[in-house]
Amino acid sequence: MKEQCQKVRFQVELRIMACPQYLYIARQAVRRMAELSEMSEEERDVLTLAMEEALTNVIRHGYGGPCDKQMIIQLGKIEANGERSAGLEIVISDFGKQVDPGEIKGRDLDDVRPGGLGVHIIKSMMDEVEYTPREEGGMQLRMVKYAK
């Protein structure tokens, strides 16, 4: 049974409406998935926060605010092999505005002001972060955290 579960890239897929009141549900899912992936408490916190920041960015920038469009969240365990430790892969797809991935950057932290920290937080905390415009419209963010 375990081998069968390992064959698929994503074991969990969620679709949530782009409204802030549903973010809690996504947080619970990623935390539980990180637990199943044997990530440490600290790593679970990192994954939960990174995904939260990614989803709020989709709502705020991709969709221009809360709306009834969907965000697709895919969660997949990465098994350890000789070259790397186990981890968790998160892929978030949206149907919002497309942007050049090169334009997605964290802002200058010396400029203390409210907001604009999401991308910095994601890039600082996750081991792999990749934004890609989707052929069918919208953006996809793939991010991975490996266990220490």
User: Is position 82 an interface residue for another protein (rule: CB under 8 A)?
Assistant: no
User: Is position 49 an interface residue for another protein (rule: CB under 8 A)?
Assistant: yes
Give dist(CA 90, CA 99) in Å, integer: 20
Q: Shortest approach of another protein to residue 4 CB, angstroms?
A: 32
Q: If you search the block for the tokens 């920038």, which residue do you land on?
A: 61
Number of residues that bind another protein (CB under 8 A): 27
Q: Any idea what DSSP says for residue 1?
A: -
Q: Which of positions 24-43 make contact with another protein (CB under 8 A)?
A: 24-25, 27-28
User: Is position 84 an interface residue for another protein (rule: CB under 8 A)?
Assistant: no
- Residue span binding another protein (CB under 8 A) among the ranges 23-31, 74-82, 90-98, 138-146: 23-31
- Identify the burial level of 22 via C-beta atoms within 10 angstroms of its C-beta, where 0-12 means exposed, 13-18 middle and 19 or more buried: middle
Task: State which of residues 36, 80, 99, 109 lies at the interface with another protein (CB under 8 A).
Answer: 109
For residue 141, give the H/E element and its range.
Answer: strand 139-146
Contact 98, 139 (CB under 8 A): yes
Of residues 43 and 89, the one with the C-beta less far from another protein: 43
End-to-end CA distance of the chain, in Å? 27
Percentage helix, strand, coil, to 5, in the chain?
Answer: 40, 25, 35
User: Is position 120 an interface residue for another protein (rule: CB under 8 A)?
Assistant: yes
Of residues 10 and 67, the one with the C-beta less far from another protein: 67
For binding to another protein (CB under 8 A), which residues are involved? Answer: 20-25, 27-28, 45, 48-49, 52-53, 56, 59-60, 109, 112-115, 117-118, 120-121, 124-125
